[in-house]
A = this chain, B = another copy of it.
Amino acid sequence: MKTPKIMTLLSDFGTTDPYVGVMKGAIARINPSVTVIDLTHDLPPQNLQAARFCLLSSYAYFPQGTVHVAVVDPGVGSSRRAIALQLPGAFLIGPDNGLFSGILAQEPILAAVELTNPRYWRTPDVSQTFHGRDIFAPAGAHLASGVPMAELGRAIAPETLVQLPLADYRQEPDRIQGTLQYIDRFGNLITNIPGDLVSGKSWFVKLADQKIQGDRTYASSPVGSAIALVGSHGYIEIAVNQGNAQQQLQLDWGATIQVMIAL
């Protein structure tokens, strides 16, 4: 028996309407043996930064050859390109709007195409508003079924891909300045500062009027008080033990975060 191929879906469609189910139907019509895994469909609508981080922090945990289809697509129906990218370990499919910037900062692109071949769409007569169903999910199902990248459309130059700007972190001997790149539903505040920069050191997060000690687990701090730790995604994160750090600390997406390191 051949190993089932894995696809993931990520969108801001929500699960109240049947849009996600319909994408899965379109996949099953092409190849009912594909296993489809939802990353999430409840991203803040059209929040490309949130989509970027979810993809970045998830893709490495899937089997070799997984096809990730991401549809957060404010420009659907405009002239933005629909693309497929081949990495060493995975395929990425979605609109060319910077969704994949996070992953692409870490992985080389082996091949890149624009999805111009209508033979691999659901129908040549595509909807102007639902490319997830008519272009992205079908292209993904064909890739997962062994169709070669080059069949899906014309090659594009990787350097023409749209980039999503995110402030870089800035490292000095005794401090690192970074940015909040994601806030999860628990209110945990996730920076873009890699945890290995503080590995084995004594460190804390400095906010205007407080100092949040760096530690190892949520349970290390008293219930209700803030703690900084390296999250499961590998970045420095600020949490409140059994509480909501976003609400308690009044910080929002994109906020600047300062980490101090004992020399």
A contact residues vs B (CB 8 Å cutoff): 1-6, 8, 10, 14-22, 24-26, 28-29, 32-33, 35, 37-43, 45-46, 54, 57-58, 61-63, 66, 74-78, 122, 127-130, 133-134, 184-186, 216-220, 229-232, 242
**Cβ–Cβ contact B63 & A37, under 8 A:** no
**Cβ–Cβ contact B185 & A17, under 8 A:** yes
Question: Across the interface, which residues of B come within 8 angstroms of A58, CB to CB?
Answer: 18, 21-22, 25
Question: Assuming A15-B40, A32-B35, A77-B216, what are 16 further A-B pairs, CB within 8 angstroms?
Answer: A1-B2, A16-B43, A17-B40, A18-B39, A18-B57, A21-B40, A24-B37, A25-B58, A25-B63, A28-B35, A46-B242, A77-B220, A127-B231, A128-B230, A129-B217, A129-B231
**Cβ–Cβ contact B15 & A61, under 8 A:** no
How far, in Å, is A233 (CB) from chain B's closest CB?
9
**Cβ–Cβ contact B15 & A128, under 8 A:** no
Question: Across the interface, which residues of B come within 8 angstroms of A15, CB to CB?
Answer: 15, 38, 40-42
With contacts A35-B32, A63-B25 taken as known, whether A128 is within 8 angstroms of B76 at the C-beta atoms is no
Q: What is the oligomeric copy number?
A: 3
With contacts A26-B61, A61-B25, A128-B229 taken as known, whether A10 is within 8 angstroms of B6 at the C-beta atoms is no
How far, in Å, is A20 (CB) from chain B's closest CB?
8
List 7 tightest A-B contacts by C-beta distance, closest first: A77-B217, A130-B232, A25-B61, A25-B62, A21-B39, A127-B232, A16-B185
Nearest to A243 among chain B residues (CB) is B45
